[in-house]
Structure 1
Amino acid sequence: MRSLTILTLAIGLAAIAPAQAAEHENKETPLTYPETKTVDVVDEQFGEYISDPYRWLENDVREDAEVADWVKAQNAVTDAYLETLPGRDALAQSMEELFDYDDLGNPVEAGGKYFYERKSGGQNQAVLYVRDGAEGEERALIDPAGWSDDGATALAGWKPSGDGSLLAYAVQDGGSDWRTLKVLDVKTGEVRADTVEWAKFTDLVWMPQNFGFLYSRFPEPEEGEAFQSLNENHAVYLHLIGTDQEKDTKVYATPDQPELNHVADLTSDKEWVVITSSSGTDDRYEITLVKVDAPKLETRKLVSGFENDWRLIDGAGDTLYFVTNKDAPRLRVVKTDLSADQPEFTELVAESDAVVDGAMIVGNRLVVSYLVDAKSQLSVFDLDGEALGTLDLPGPGQVGSLSGSMKSDEGFFTFQSFNRPTTVFRYEPSSEPTVWAAPSLPFDPDTVEVSQRFYESKDGTKIPMFLVHMKGQDLSEGAPTMLYGYGGFNISVLPQYKPAWMAWIKAGGVFASANLRGGGEYGKEWHDGGRLQNKQNVFDDFIAAGEYLLTMGITSQNGLAIEGRSNGGLLVGAVMNQRPDLFTAGHAAVGVMDMLRFDRFTAGRYWVDDYGYPNKEQDFRTQLAYSPYHNIEDGIDYPALIVSTADTDDRVVPGHSFKYTARLQALDTGDKPHIIRIETRAGHGSGKPTDKVIEEYSDIYAFLAHATGLELDQ
């Protein structure tokens, strides 16, 4: 069956649809949507006249009272509809139970102390703990619970100083990408007076002797523009402990190239600062070095040209180790000697069929994380590149958060899968990994079956897809199925545990995750195959996944829901337009919906590496062909759709979702509900408190369950 052509699939679907259509089809009373005003805005681009009647909805909801009123009216309709759905409370209760576990983070050792995050069931935000020694008694160091009344202020990054006496940390408020940086005395718990504002897209790097730390920031935005204006002129600064931010030293910037971002790292021996510069999202970097003990922190260019991916692993003295895709589309490991007049890169671990996903050095061992058909594998090498074998993992899943040091014989990594929350493993070169911390699970993972299938896309490309459902579940007549996808920015969608997904599965639904082109699962070729002029491949891959699920009888007729976030929200909007007959319902979360204006707001300009430039004709015509906002068709019955966004999303501004929903509601798109759920004091996703996540996804999955016929316990 896997070799069926798309033509055969289409014929098969046409043949079975009349007989099975009666199995489930909700008849909805059409909703009355708020009337949305239109404005006379028409742009001319390359001879095309583009109407944009909802341009006014791009305005910041916090600054424009008319947009705020529209949001209030839309939420009123959405809330009233959601109140009618059966099983919403049961879903919320299930999610509460499934969130009742310890969500763990990798420990970081500094000065004999171990720092780590843990979020236990019922907590809205993770708490930072510290132990004196690996087996010492833990104590809470930072608990964000008291930072805001609604739990929407989060700990968003931290780094202990080399001796573990101080901790720099980032505060995120309301889901925004902006960060406020502070410093804490680890022994006393006192928060020092140091405060840094307008940090964004930053790491924290302590300099030796704790005299200060490096961070990245943008200039302070104009009044009222913090959540809308383009992010430009990123720079690396040095903050000296005990001084005001106004005295911070600009270490590295490129005023002649304001579009570049710069993020600092430091080798474990604290000899070299390594600054990675990027112009977009395409993993093409320049590398600039700063010798820590050099006067005035002079910079030195190591890699120029923005041609390849370069990821620092670590360094010892003048030898630095990197993962790169230079001359290796599936990546390899190289090293360089900085003492040479013209440093060159020497191959340490050659490219293979598997894709390098990350690496760490622990003492005298190099541990490389590979992707093999979207599943992780850990291989070990010595520092001369000789292969020493692979490490045992609990099963098919995702390895993440590799953290090791050439100065230590101890490293850590995490592992998770669709049916297993994060477990933290400790690795020593002399032995197999051991469990450092594991959650007490709210369910038996062995009762959940995880399998992988491969199906053919429109052009014959084989696409992997994971299927997750309760073990022993009778699928002879199919089951309501949620299909998830992303397909972009070289991001690999790997097995991961999400309580909301598990609630759908435990209710009797099937969960499917397709590894679409545009991601990084098979290296640069896979990414290139789904971006720019190849973006349609992503939509074809997703549509083919839906056809496969129906033809194979995995999903029930009228039982296929789709979900995607951000670039995945764009995916949902695009395929809803292209194949409204195929899907029963959809959830488009924080999506990029207007492909002709995405580059005008906040971080949108970075995305041109994947989407292209709207002001270049070839890119414009490609974008216009699939832009969700511009391709909604009048007179076509659309699936049930819930759009979700948030007022403080300064990654994908909510105007994308506002405009898309307004047009979908204004045109004749059928009687099924097309609603939008707009969260307050929430952003693109990170930092969202647990209670808001449960409330949001019990609403959304009750909507999808009702549309697809998934029966929820009352």
Structure 2
Amino acid sequence: MPWHPVFARLCAALALGTAALLAHAADKGAPPTAVKPVVDTYGDLRVSDPYRWLEATGDPAVRRWSAAQDRRTRAYLDKLPARKPMFDWLMKQAAASSSAYYGLHAAGGRLFALHNQPPRQQPMLVVMGQEADPAQARVVLDPNALNPKGTTAIDWFVPSPTGKLVAVSMSENGSEDGSLHVFDVATGREVDAVIPDVQYPTGGGSLAWREDGSGFWYTRYPGADAPAERRHFYQQVYEHRIGDDPAKDRYVLGRDFPRVAEIVLEARPGTPGVVVSVGNGDGGEFAHYLIGKDGGIRQVTRFEDKVVAAALGPDALYLVSHDGAPRGKVLKLGLDDLALAHAQVLVPESDGALQPGGESGAAGITVTRDALLLREIVGGPSRVAVYGLDGRPRGHLALPEVATVDELEAMDDGSLLVAVKTYLEPPRFVRFASAGGEGKPTLLRQTSPLSFGDVEVVREFATSRDGTRIPLNIVRRKGMKLDGRAPLLLNGYGGYNVSQVPRFLGAATRMWLDAGGVYVVANLRGGGEFGEDWHAQGALTHKQNVFDDFAAAAQYLVERGYTSHRRMAAIGGSNGGLLMGATLTQHPQLLRAVVSTVGIYDMLRVELDPNGAFNVSEFGSVKVPEQLAALYAYSPYHHVQDGARYPAVLMATGETDGRVNPMHSRKMIARLQAATGSGRPVLLSINTHAGHGMGSSLSIRVNQAADIYAFLFDQLGMAYRPGR
């Protein structure tokens, strides 16, 4: 493999002799951890891995080690005086909050939704009239009744166009390893054979019904009978007819798709077919196909075309293109001529970036019978631009200035239901009679026993290492003094084109604010807040920009007088966990405490996991010299330094996580415990009934919140005051 000699020389000191340095743990209270070095060679680079043995999840020695780590963490957390009162108060607030409705689907003149009703452990599937009155909601499927332990979750659901049937993917223990069930909406009875292997964290899962409700197209993986290297890859599209044996379902599409294909199917009543969007892993490349009512398949775009989304209208296909438009432009194709070269630029690029996809439409597009609605993001907050199907602008929906719109459902009667979320108010749905005019509140809203009337959100900007301005959303008590004494919690993500947007702060943040704290969300590069350019500046070989942005944000908050280094903590999960690992290894003195959940830390081994292969287009591959250089340069696990005074660390992971291998947390904790010279605790919490967070029960979520805030309060010297 070709290699860069200069980089190889820079890394040589880190790559050799590691085993001798790891003979004892610097965190004296940590369970003993065996050191069994394995040396890997990447071209001229030799890298020692002292804890490779901790990758073997099923090994009894690993299980014993994990149990010892969790016991130690529980002993630390459970003795904190604030921990139990925090749990009790947080659970009380959850129980006192009203029901929440989300994931809306309109079908057959009715509205389907997921209904979260604390203290029930899992959301239920309900149906109501299109007037969206929750008092009329009826339960179709209750996972809590199926499994009182609360470990059965709904991954996703799609009602048939008539609303008579509903297809539901369900999985266990937060695994997101879903099987498909079909229920009769009127009776709640299961009416068809179970179809396994339709959903997994690698490529997700999706389904689109035939317009007459006689069957559907769905995604399927090779399954348990396939070799391990294929089991959670090579997602394909199959067609099923209600009443048929799933083993005889007809293959439709996908045998020539990439190993890391991620397929999304979308069909709307009154449109002539099904749009098939195929992601080439997680990096933002897409191809699009159209399945006609006759079953014929036409390819519309290829990965290299830079078309990132497609939505079907009654007589045209609408595309979001990044070709020469990193914030997105909208193209229109007549269905009689699907040649991309003949597409009309319907809506040119604007100052707002089209939001990534969601329940309400492909990449922020919702097509109604007479309008095109575009969900845009401008640095964090959302807006909804309205256009005629001819591309003529009609203004914007009347929404709060600093809000998030992550659901927009076109109802059968022509109205729109729009989910509005802000930092200081619980989520609510607003109805627009059409694509314009004033919105009216619906009864489909959440209430909270908490008030944030004494809180304000201000937006300030830090300057990163290369001069880029980084937005900071600062949540603080009104009238606070900037004397550098407040405890501050800084949150970030910075990856996958995912934007950090306004969302209701909730009970844990109220508890933090009541103790004098400040909460800050940073809009880092790698996200989608300013479009594809903003994402690209924080991906692949530019990933270091994300960490520089976060460090600049922390330093700005100190210099501005919000806090001090000894009173500041940071929190992040998944890709945000990578951010936490890179921050604490690159800047050990920046923070007093770090909370990192389900994080990624060994960047040289990521792509070996099933979901890691999907991440190559975001992070890069060790097989490409330039990308290997970048991966190794920031890989947290490989840059832990013996004797460094690291902040206190709490990591959490779930044993059933199919998105990020729990081995990352095991290895990183072992290395930090061996190296830290600060005397501060380095803790690992491992839940055997949880995965990446999706599908976790209410009790698991509240317990983790109590753990996190009890840990932070203890490390930052904060006094717990029961919230209002």
2:275·2:312 contact (CA, 8 Å) conserved in 1?
Answer: no
1:593 pairs, out of 596, 601, 612, with 601
Give the distance between the partners of 1:229 and 1:479, measured in 2 at CA. Answer: 51
Give the distance between the partners of 1:600 and 1:521, measured in 2 at CA. Answer: 30
Q: CA deviation at 1:107?
A: 3.4
Write out per-residue CA displacement over residues 311-369 of structure 1, whole angstroms, 9 at most, x where no aligned residue: 2233113x112222222111122210120274522111110122122121233122222
2:367 corresponds in structure 1 to: 361
1:114 corresponds in structure 2 to: 111
1:7 corresponds in structure 2 to: none
1:14 corresponds in structure 2 to: none
1:484·1:513 contact (CA, 8 Å) conserved in 2?
Answer: yes
Q: CA deviation at 1:255?
A: 4.1
Whichever residue aligns with residue 619 of structure 1, its letter is Q
1:251 corresponds in structure 2 to: 252
Q: CA deviation at 1:149?
A: 3.7
Give the distance between the partners of 1:97 and 1:564, measured in 2 at CA. Answer: 25
2:588 equivalent to 1:580: yes
1:347 corresponds in structure 2 to: 345
Q: CA deviation at 1:268?
A: 3.3
Give the distance between the partners of 1:74 and 1:134, measured in 2 at CA. Answer: 52
Give the distance between the partners of 2:676 and 2:370, measured in 1 at CA. Answer: 65
1:82 corresponds in structure 2 to: 77
2:406 equivalent to 1:400: yes
Q: CA deviation at 1:408?
A: 4.9
1:3 corresponds in structure 2 to: none
Whichever residue aligns with residue 407 of structure 2, its letter is S
2:472 corresponds in structure 1 to: 465
Write out per-residue CA displacement over residues 146-167 of structure 1, whole angstroms, 9 at most, x where no aligned residue: 2324312111211111111111
1:78·1:676 contact (CA, 8 Å) conserved in 2?
Answer: yes
Give the distance between the partners of 1:254 and 1:306, measured in 2 at CA. Answer: 19
1:382 corresponds in structure 2 to: 388
2:627 corresponds in structure 1 to: 619
Identity of aligned residues (%): 34
Q: CA deviation at 1:39?
A: 2.0
Q: For 1:435, what is the secondary structure of its paired residue?
A: strand
Q: For 1:666, what is the secondary structure of its paired residue?
A: helix
Write out per-residue CA displacement over residues 633-670 of structure 1, whole angstroms, 9 at most, x where no aligned residue: 00111000001101000110100111111111122433
2:215 pairs, out of 193, 212, 216, with 212
Q: CA deviation at 1:494?
A: 0.6
Moved more, 591-600 or 98-107: 98-107
Change (3 A) 1:135 1:602: closer
When the two structures are superposed, what TM-score results if normalisation uses the length of structure 2?
A: 0.90
Q: CA deviation at 1:681?
A: 1.2
Q: For 1:665, what is the secondary structure of its paired residue?
A: helix
Q: CA deviation at 1:411?
A: 2.0
Whichever residue aligns with residue 190 of structure 2, its letter is V
Change (3 A) 1:474 1:629: same
Moved more, 47-56 or 267-276: 267-276
2:577 corresponds in structure 1 to: 569
Give the distance between the partners of 2:410 and 2:319, measured in 1 at CA. Answer: 14
Q: CA deviation at 1:501?
A: 3.2
Give the distance between the partners of 2:278 and 2:104, measured in 1 at CA. Answer: 27
Change (3 A) 1:589 1:230: farther
1:6 corresponds in structure 2 to: none
1:363·1:408 contact (CA, 8 Å) conserved in 2?
Answer: no
Change (3 A) 1:308 1:111: same
Give the distance between the partners of 2:156 and 2:563, measured in 1 at CA. Answer: 40
Change (3 A) 1:341 1:157: closer
Number of equivalences: 677
Q: Which has the higher contact order (CA 8 A, sep 6+)?
A: 1
Q: For 1:526, what is the secondary structure of its paired residue?
A: helix
Change (3 A) 1:418 1:70: same
The within-5 A match list for 1:413-492 is: 413-429=418-434, 431-436=437-442, 437-492=444-499
Whichever residue aligns with residue 262 of structure 2, its letter is N
2:185 equivalent to 1:186: yes
Q: CA deviation at 1:578?
A: 0.5
Write out per-residue CA displacement over residues 545-582 of structure 1, whole angstroms, 9 at most, x where no aligned residue: 10011111112451110011101000000010010111
2:650 equivalent to 1:651: no
1:124·1:151 contact (CA, 8 Å) conserved in 2?
Answer: yes
The within-5 A match list for 1:188-337 is: 188-200=187-199, 201-221=204-224, 231-255=232-256, 257-292=258-293, 294=294, 297-317=295-315, 319-337=316-334
Write out per-residue CA displacement over residues 167-202 of structure 1, whole angstroms, 9 at most, x where no aligned residue: 111112111121111000111111124201111211
Q: CA RMSD in A?
A: 2.0
Write out per-residue CA displacement over residues 216-240 of structure 1, whole angstroms, 9 at most, x where no aligned residue: 1211135995xx9773211011121
Moved more, 454-463 or 132-141: 132-141
Moved more, 631-640 or 236-245: 236-245
Q: For 2:579, what is the secondary structure of its paired residue?
A: helix
Moved more, 263-272 or 586-595: 263-272
Change (3 A) 1:256 1:356: closer
Change (3 A) 1:203 1:507: farther
Q: For 2:217, what is the secondary structure of its paired residue?
A: strand
Give the distance between the partners of 1:331 and 1:44, measured in 2 at CA. Answer: 42
1:167 corresponds in structure 2 to: 166
Moved more, 490-499 or 568-577: 490-499
Whichever residue aligns with residue 423 of structure 2, its letter is F
Moved more, 537-546 or 418-427: 418-427
1:367·1:380 contact (CA, 8 Å) conserved in 2?
Answer: yes
2:379·2:523 contact (CA, 8 Å) conserved in 1?
Answer: no
2:484·2:558 contact (CA, 8 Å) conserved in 1?
Answer: no
1:177·1:651 contact (CA, 8 Å) conserved in 2?
Answer: no
The within-5 A match list for 1:505-524 is: 505-524=513-532
Give the distance between the partners of 1:46 and 1:501, measured in 2 at CA. Answer: 48
2:64 corresponds in structure 1 to: 69
2:397 corresponds in structure 1 to: 391
1:356·1:371 contact (CA, 8 Å) conserved in 2?
Answer: yes
Give the distance between the partners of 2:119 and 2:482, measured in 1 at CA. Answer: 34
2:718 equivalent to 1:713: no
Moved more, 595-604 or 93-102: 93-102
2:223·2:231 contact (CA, 8 Å) conserved in 1?
Answer: no
Change (3 A) 1:103 1:132: closer
Moved more, 454-463 or 140-149: 140-149
2:675 corresponds in structure 1 to: 667
1:595·1:624 contact (CA, 8 Å) conserved in 2?
Answer: yes
1:102·1:118 contact (CA, 8 Å) conserved in 2?
Answer: yes
Q: For 1:525, what is the secondary structure of its paired residue?
A: helix
Q: CA deviation at 1:452?
A: 0.8
Write out per-residue CA displacement over residues 22-59 of structure 1, whole angstroms, 9 at most, x where no aligned residue: xxxxxxx9641111122231111121111112112112
2:709 corresponds in structure 1 to: 701
1:497 corresponds in structure 2 to: 504
Where does the alignment leave 5 or more consecutive residues of structure 2 unmatched? 1-25, 356-363
Q: CA deviation at 1:711?
A: 1.6
After superposing on structure 2, the runs of 4+ consecutive aligned residues of structure 1 that deviate more than 4 Å are: 222-225
Whichever residue aligns with residue 55 of structure 1, its letter is R
Q: CA deviation at 1:371?
A: 1.2
Change (3 A) 1:506 1:199: farther
2:543 equivalent to 1:535: yes
Q: CA deviation at 1:298?
A: 2.9
1:12 corresponds in structure 2 to: none
Give the distance between the partners of 2:719 and 2:265, measured in 1 at CA. Answer: 51
Where does the alignment leave 5 or more consecutive residues of structure 1 unmatched? 1-28
When the two structures are superposed, what TM-score results if normalisation uses the length of structure 1?
A: 0.91
Give the distance between the partners of 1:316 and 1:672, measured in 2 at CA. Answer: 62
Give the distance between the partners of 2:395 and 2:234, measured in 1 at CA. Answer: 45
Q: For 2:700, what is the secondary structure of its paired residue?
A: helix
Q: CA deviation at 1:142?
A: 1.3
Give the distance between the partners of 1:121 and 1:475, measured in 2 at CA. Answer: 38
